[in-house]
Amino acid sequence: MSINLYDLTRAQLDGLLVSWELKPVHVPLLWNYLYLGLADSLDAMPKLPPKLRARLKAHTHFGVLPTAFETDSSDGFTRKYLLALADGEKIETVLMRFTGRVTACISSQVGCAMGCVFCATGQMGYTRHLTAGEIVAQAVHVARALRTAKEPHRLRNIVLMGMGEPLHNYDAVMHAIEIMRDETGLALGAERITLSTVGVVPGILRLAKEKRPLHLAVSLHAATQAERAALVPAAKKWPLDELMAACRTYSETTGRRIFYEWTLIEGKNDSIEHARAVGRLLHGLPAQVNLIPLNPTAGYTGAPTRTEAAKHFQHILSEEFKIPSTVRQRRGIDIAAGCGQLAVADRL
């Protein structure tokens, strides 16, 4: 079976060359071509020795993801890519520009099994996990697009907030993060990688045990079990009390705060009482709350909280509970590139 080069860490690439009875001294050059030169074919690697080139041609492939469609938001900062996978499936990846930095929002699955009612990916259902190479290839795609466009900033930040639940695909996601963090390649620092989970308790506990150096975001959306289960079906499997116990363990074990995400839905979870319930739930925990006004999707009729109500919610968290919070900048809404909007249209 042909090996996707994006599936391999640098150490694994070393091992592959040794198994071919070739000197691993050639690995730095090959690695540089992949992640510094962003080469997309053997033709773009002219300095490789003939024996290595022949082996690569016979036994490996470049897991480059072709662009099936791309579109720019009218906000001038956001571009969304529909990328084609080798088996005919498709995923969405988003490039977001902020002052002084560029962030890629990348997917971890085709679809999602968690079924959050207001999320387009949850509405399309689950098809399969992505491989580590398919996750890495999205970051490479964005980095290559930035270089092609001669943009002034390189890719510096990754958010695993695209299609899918990252902790449902734990091993592939962590393997991909290891590749993306390699200091001689894409060199994405752990402090610049954020993983968002709907609350997969075993995955959170595993992150804690392994002390993975990355930012963790937990999609909360409600402060009682009944309200959360109505929005997030996964809460029936991992109830709120179990989730909060896992979050407490994570923070105590790693010493890291958690970013708690709260999608603000008008009349559902945006009242002063809801804000105080969040404050009580997170009291004593190292936490920051990211408030995200609901983004529209075809399968959910709720409306986003109005700006004034969001400010009141934030004021309660800050003044009464001393919990820092931010209201998420809305980007790419007109091209369905916002939080909760990613999906493959023909699968809905």
Active-site residue numbers? Answer: 92, 339
Asked whether 246 and 255 are in contact (CB, 8 A), the reply is no
Q: CA 165, CA 150: separation in Å to the nearest integer?
A: 33
How many Cα neighbours within 13 Å face the side chain of 286? 12
Chain centroid to CA 343: 14
Closest listed residue to residue 212, CA positions, set 237, 178, 187: 178
* Cβ neighbours of residue 108 closer than 8 Å, sequence gap 6 or more: 129, 130, 135, 160, 162, 163, 164, 165, 166, 168, 169, 172, 173
Q: CA 117, CA 345: separation in Å to the nearest integer?
A: 17
For CA atoms 106, 112, 116, 122, give the dihedral sign. positive
Asked whether 206 and 250 are in contact (CB, 8 A), the reply is no
Q: CA 340, CA 231: separation in Å to the nearest integer?
A: 13
Asked whether 97 and 77 are in contact (CB, 8 A), the reply is yes
